[in-house]
């Protein structure tokens, strides 16, 4: 409150000086036609793109702290260190079950989706004799005084082994511990849990299990979760990361990618059906970002699918976003193997899509509706969008898409299909697909642009000339690159964020054409990224939003419901949108829920610029509005863990001229402003 007051005093001084200035030379006028909105803004307009890249899922939003819990990485003990003064040959053995055994106990034998487990053999072991230590994804983030839930699948072969579970800090001091005494000795697999509280915090912790007693014990799915997951769900998501998304109120979540959908080859494509049910049955595969970039290798990057499609749908429901799953279209990544499914063998892929719609939407009496209900979510998810293919291109894509389109539209005519326009926003590949997709009456064409900041400024009018009828645009992946695509030098700096803010005025102005947009990628772990820039950066305990995040958030929270025409006055060529003249970019929206005009103004120059925004077609304007200002004089300014809000929005009240029904303001240099003013029409 105090801060707002101080800001409004400052603002009044600023505006007083502005009006003195404007006495000398009247500020150019920008006209906002409030009376006649020109198009609807879709509730889905601003969303997020999620992919398991940069340790976004495993080691990221999936709160599992144990890396390689199932011993299914290529190297079965990757992430684990076996130690102890009484180590003997064969005391820790990797077993690989060939078929599900009949030896089931009270829990069914685990399937061969997860064939490996570890057999521990000890004799009279005590502390220090034999231990297994897990290093976590990039270490384990431990919070002081928090409950941690350790669980394991075990099978007692003989004897009476106990598991002592210690949380360690970076110096190997114990900062929390529990003991798990297997309760079942019937030679079946059992899951058991022990919880304990940590006594101190640590950024790079570890988990050590040491064994006490004599016996032979099989262990698998060794897991550790913090208590404070998103909504407190056991085995759930990292709450601080999800909160960042929830705070944006995104219109949609696109998942699970990205190139991960396509896979390096078809075997490694994303298959949603394999991501459901008990986590021990979800078959792990290598993550394509493990080896994609020789300059950023990540040999310990796999997909455990602990987060699967049910969890992604649930996330969307939690944060009020439309789910937008993207499925493989029978083509592997064309930058990699470019494998194709022969046309006469495409049916299973199409069936996967049909089944997904049933899984998401159908009644519990249907096969896949029942699967959803059995997994604990009888209520349908009301899926409205589905993507066919990620960055796929060429006639091979068109012919496969046509099969999907026919099958899906025949059965679900209102479902809106997202179709790929390839990898780039121009060039032969794009032109070919854009033409074909429009002929095919594609619902939404997915455009991607990873380009330099200048491109974003030059393209602020990209959609002004797009056809108003026919296919709509999903700006599905984009981000300004301070260096160049896939360069490790790209930074999430203010110049990039500001150029995106300027470009987005063009998306908003053309909401009649652009129905959805999302920055990409979404998350990056500071110690484990492959691709930069990214919207949100995390380490094991912290998270911060980049300047780009705040731009996205401001658009999303100030979406409005209708586009208003905003044109420059007679100083320039009349009736042109403000899209780069004098380095200013602006758009206007109407919010029918709150009766507010929302202005978005990016000033990419280093000069303050006076403007008068004249509201046409209104009876009354409120005497004050709200200005949310994102600015920095330095184009290379970035946020960081240490200075997470260096470039972040500040809110203040601003006076409006009720008589003239106009707002006169000085737009700060290198700034992005969002202004909300209550208006009576
Ligand atoms: O966002 C990173 C990658 O960029 C995506 O996986 C892919 O679709 C694009 O090439």
C-alpha of residue 106 to centroid of ligand 1, in Å: 44
Ligand 1 center from residue 451 Cα (angstroms): 13
Average pLDDT rounded to a whole number, residues 152-172: 97
Query: Does the beta carbon of 258 lie inside 6 Å of ligand 1?
Result: yes
* pLDDT of residue 16 exceeding 80: no
From 50, 258, 290, 422, mutation site for ligand 1 pocket: most ligand atoms within 8 A of C-beta: 258
- CA 536–ligand 1 middle distance (angstroms): 16
Q: Is 390's C-beta closer than 6 angstroms to any atom of ligand 1?
A: yes
CA of 423 to the centre of ligand 1 (A): 9
Q: Residues 40-86: pLDDT tens digits?
A: 999 999 999 999 999 999 999 999 999 999 999 999 999 999 999 99
- Identify whether residues 473 and 513 lie together within a single domain: yes
Give SS3 for 620: strand
Q: Model confidence at 11, in pLDDT bands (50, 70, 90)? A: very low
Q: Are 603 and 670 in contact (CB under 8 A)?
A: yes
- Residue 324 alpha carbon to ligand 1 centre in Å: 16
Q: Is the CB of 387 under 6 A from ligand 1?
A: no
Nearest atom of ligand 1 to the alpha carbon of 335:
10
Task: Looking at the structure, tell me whether residues 260 and 161 fall in a common domain.
Answer: no
Same domain, 206 and 246: no
Residue 18's pLDDT is 41
Res 210: pLDDT: 98
User: Based on the domain organization, do 301 and 438 belong to the same domain?
Assistant: yes
For residue 500, being part of any structural domain is answered with yes
Work out the angle at residue 50's Cα, subtended by the Cα atoms of residues 372 and 389, and round it to the nearest 5 degrees: 80
Both 279 and 161 in one domain: the answer is no
Residues 6+ apart with CB under 8 A from 426: none
Report which ligand 1 atom has the smallest distance to the Cα of 51: 6
Residue 323 CB–ligand 1 contact under 6 Å: no
pLDDT at 109: 59
CA of 265 to the centre of ligand 1 (A): 16
The atom of ligand 1 lying closest to the CA of 258 is 6
Q: What residue owns the CA closest to ligand 1's atom 5?
A: 258
Residue range 558-565: average pLDDT? 98
Do 248 and 193 share a structural domain? no
| pLDDT band at residue 187 using 50, 70 and 90 as cut-offs | confident
Of 259, 296, 331, best ligand 1 pocket probe by most atoms within 8 Å of the beta carbon: 259
| Residue spans of alpha helices (H) in 584-660 | none
Residue 85 within any structural domain of the chain? yes
- Mean predicted lDDT score pLDDT of the chain: 94
Query: Does residue 477's CB lie within 6 angstroms of at least one atom of ligand 1?
Result: yes
Task: Classify residue 275: in a domain, yes or no.
Answer: yes
How many Cα neighbours within 13 Å face the side chain of 194?
Answer: 18
pLDDT in tens, 627-655: 999 999 999 999 999 999 999 999 999 99
> b/e for 265-282, b at 16 or more Cβ within 10 A?
ebebbbbbebbbbbbbeb
Residue 341: CATH number of its domain: 3.20.20.80
Residues 535 and 586 grouped into a single domain: no
Angstrom distances, CA of residue 324 to CA of 357, 389, 422:
11, 12, 18
Boundary-marking domain end, from 557, 587, 621: 557
Q: Measure 257 CA to ligand 1 centroid, in angstroms.
A: 7
Residue 303 has pLDDT above 60, yes or no: yes
Ligand 1 centroid vs 518 CA: distance in angstroms? 12
Q: Which of 208, 226, 244 is the last residue of a domain?
A: 226
- In the chain, what are the helix, strand and coil shares in percent, each to the nearest 5? 25, 35, 45
Task: Give residue 259 CA to ligand 1 midpoint distance, Å.
Answer: 5
Over residues 671-680, the pLDDT tens digits come to 999 999 999 9
Closest by CA to 234, choosing from 319, 311, 301, 291, is: 311
Mean pLDDT on 219-243:
98
Q: Which of 321, 326, 316, 240 is nearest to 46 (CA)?
A: 321
Pair (403, 326) in one structural domain: yes
Cβ 284 vs Cβ 304: under 8 Å: yes
> Mean of the pLDDT values across residues 452-470?
97
Query: Is residue 18 in a domain?
Result: no
Can you tell me the mean pLDDT for 88-108? 73
Q: Is residue 543 part of a domain?
A: yes
Within-domain flag for 21:
no
CATH number at residue 656: 2.60.40.1180
- Count of beta carbons in the 10 Å neighbourhood of residue 156: 21
- Confirm or reject: Cβ of 389 under 6 Å from ligand 1: no
Atom in ligand 1 nearest the alpha carbon of residue 479: 1
Atom of ligand 1 nearest to the CA of 391: 8
CB distance 520 to ligand 1 below 6 Å: yes
* Residue 118 domain flag: yes
Question: Which of 126, 133, 227 is closest to 172 using CA atoms?
Answer: 133
| Total number of domains in the chain | 3
Length, in residues, of the chain:
681
Mutational test site, ligand 1, from 293, 449, 477, 481, max ligand atoms within 8 Å of CB: 477
Residues 448, 527 within the same domain = yes
476 CA to centre of ligand 1 in angstroms: 10
Q: What is the mean pLDDT of residues 204-208?
A: 98
Per-residue pLDDT, 98: 75
E-only strand ranges, 10-107:
29-33, 39-40, 48-49, 80-83, 92-96
pLDDT (tens digit, 9 = 90+) per residue, 581-600? Answer: 999 999 999 999 999 999 99
Q: Please state, in angstroms and rounded to a whole number, the distance separating the CA atoms of residues 390 and 589.
A: 31
Instruction: Please indicate, yes or no, whether residues 347 and 387 belong to a single structural domain of this protein.
Output: yes
Residue 141 CB less than 6 A away from ligand 1 = no
* DSSP classification of residue 333: -
- Is the CB–ligand 1 distance for residue 48 below 6 Å? no
| Ligand 1 pocket residue status of 58, Cβ below 6 Å | no
Report the CATH number at residue 220. Answer: 2.60.120.260
Do 351 and 337 share a structural domain?
Answer: yes
What residues are paired with 611 via a beta bridge? 665
- What is d(CA 196, CA 218) in angstroms, rounded to the nearest whole number? 23
> How many angstroms does the Cα of residue 521 sit away from the middle of ligand 1?
7
| pLDDT exceeds cutoff 90 at 163 | yes
Is 257 a pocket residue for ligand 1 (Cβ < 6 Å)? yes
The answer, yes or no, to whether residue 108 has pLDDT greater than 80, is no
State the pLDDT at residue 111: 67
Minimum-distance ligand 1 atom for the alpha carbon of 521 = 1
Neighbour-count burial of 385, counting CB atoms closer than 10 A to its CB (0-12 exposed, 13-18 middle, 19+ buried) = buried
| Residue 8 in domain | no
Instruction: Calculate what percentage of the chain has a pLDDT beyond 70.
Output: 94
Q: Is 279 in the pocket of ligand 1 (CB under 6 A)?
A: no
Indicate if ligand 1 lies below 6 Å from the C-beta of 391: yes
Q: Which domain holds residue 523?
A: 48-63+230-557
Domain boundary at 557, 579, 606, which?
557
Angle between helices 428-439 and 394-411 (to 10 degrees): 30
Average pLDDT over every residue of 454-476: 98
Q: Which of 450, 475, 518 to mutate to test the pocket of ligand 1 (most atoms within 8 A of CB)?
A: 450
Catalytic residues, by residue number, are: 391
Q: How far is CA 624 from CA 19, 43, 601, in A?
A: 16, 27, 18
Query: Atom 3 in ligand 1: which residue has the minimum CA distance?
Result: 258
Same-domain status, 200 and 307: no
Q: Is 520 exposed, middle or buried (0-12, 13-18, 19+ CB in 10 A)?
A: buried
183: CB partners within 8 A, 6+ apart: 190, 192
What is the spatial distance between Cα 259 and Cα 242, in angstroms, rounded to a whole number? 22
For atom 1 of ligand 1, the residue with the nearest CA is 521
Point out the ligand 1 atom lying closest to the alpha carbon of residue 520.
1
- Position in ligand 1 atom list of the atom nearest CA 49: 1
Give yes or no for a contact between 298 and 48, defined as CB atoms under 8 angstroms apart: no
Residue 623 carries which DSSP code? E
């Amino acid at each position: 409150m105090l801060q707002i007051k101080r800001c409004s005093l400052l603002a009044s001084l600023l505006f007083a000086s502005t009006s003195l200035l404007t006495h000398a030379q009247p500020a150019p006028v920008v006209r906002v036609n409030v009376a006649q909105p020109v198009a609807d803004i879709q509730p889905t307009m601003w969303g997020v793109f999620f992919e398991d890249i940069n340790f976004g899922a495993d080691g990221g939003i999936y709160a599992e702290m144990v890396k390689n819990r199932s011993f299914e990485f290529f190297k079965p003990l990757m992430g684990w260190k076996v130690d102890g003064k009484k180590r003997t040959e064969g005391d820790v053995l990797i077993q690989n079950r060939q078929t599900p055994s009949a030896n089931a106990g009270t829990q069914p034998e685990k399937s061969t989706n997860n064939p490996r487990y570890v057999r521990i053999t000890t004799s009279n072991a005590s502390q220090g004799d034999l231990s297994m230590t897990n290093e976590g994804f990039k270490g384990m983030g431990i919070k002081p005084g928090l409950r941690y839930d350790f669980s394991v699948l075990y099978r007692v072969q003989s004897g009476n082994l106990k598991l002592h579970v210690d949380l360690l800090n970076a110096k190997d001091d114990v900062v929390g511990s529990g003991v798990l005494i297997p309760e079942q000795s019937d030679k079946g697999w059992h899951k058991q849990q022990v919880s304990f509280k940590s006594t101190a915090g640590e950024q790079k912790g570890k988990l050590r299990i040491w064994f006490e007693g004599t016996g032979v014990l099989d262990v698998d799915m060794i897991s550790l979760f913090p208590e404070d997951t998103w909504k407190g769900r056991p085995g759930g998501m990292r709450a601080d990361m999800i909160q960042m998304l929830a705070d944006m109120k995104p219109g949609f979540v696109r998942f699970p990618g990205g190139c991960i959908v396509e896979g390096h080859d078809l075997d490694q494509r994303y298959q949603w059906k394999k991501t459901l049910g008990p986590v021990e049955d979800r078959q792990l595969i290598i993550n394509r970002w493990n080896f994609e970039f020789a300059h950023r290798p990540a040999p310990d990057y796999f997909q455990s699918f602990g987060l699967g499609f049910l969890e992604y749908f649930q996330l969307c429901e939690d944060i009020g976003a439309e789910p937008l799953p993207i499925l493989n279209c029978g083509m592997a990544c064309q930058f990699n193997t470019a494998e194709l499914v022969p046309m006469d063998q495409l049916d299973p892929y199409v069936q996967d899509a049909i089944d997904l719609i049933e899984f998401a939407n159908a009644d519990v009496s249907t096969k896949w509706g029942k699967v959803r209900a059995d997994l604990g979510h009888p209520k349908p998810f009301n899926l409205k969008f589905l993507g066919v293919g990620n960055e796929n291109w060429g006639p091979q894509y068109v012919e496969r898409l046509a099969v999907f389109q026919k099958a899906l539209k025949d059965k679900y005519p209102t479902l809106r299909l997202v179709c790929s326009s390839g990898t780039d926003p121009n060039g032969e590949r794009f032109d070919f697909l854009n033409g074909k997709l429009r002929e095919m009456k594609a619902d939404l064409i997915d455009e991607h642009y990873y380009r330099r900041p200048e491109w974003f400024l030059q393209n602020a009018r990209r959609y002004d000339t797009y056809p108003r009828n026919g296919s709509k645009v999903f700006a599905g992946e984009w981000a300004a690159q301070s260096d160049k695509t896939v360069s490790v030098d790209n930074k999430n700096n203010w110049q990039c964020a500001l150029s995106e803010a300027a470009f987005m005025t063009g998306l908003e102005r053309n909401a009649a054409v652009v129905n959805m947009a999302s920055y990409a990628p979404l998350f990056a772990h500071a110690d484990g990224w492959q691709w930069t820039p990214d919207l949100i950066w995390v380490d094991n305990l912290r998270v911060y939003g980049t300047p780009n995040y705040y731009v996205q958030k401001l658009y999303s929270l100030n979406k409005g419901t209708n586009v208003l025409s905003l044109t420059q006055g007679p100083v320039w060529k009349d009736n042109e949108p403000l899209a780069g003249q004098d380095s200013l970019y602006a758009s206007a929206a109407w919010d029918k829920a709150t009766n507010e005009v929302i202005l978005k103004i990016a000033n990419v120059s280093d000069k303050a610029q006076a403007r008068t925004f004249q509201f046409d077609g209104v009876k009354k304007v409120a005497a004050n509005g709200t200005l949310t200002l994102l600015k920095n004089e330095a184009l290379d300014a970035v946020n960081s863990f240490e200075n997470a809000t260096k470039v972040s929005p500040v809110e203040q009240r601003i006076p409006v001229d009720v008589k003239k029904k106009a707002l006169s303001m000085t737009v700060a240099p290198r700034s992005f402003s969002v202004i909300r003013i209550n208006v009576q029409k």
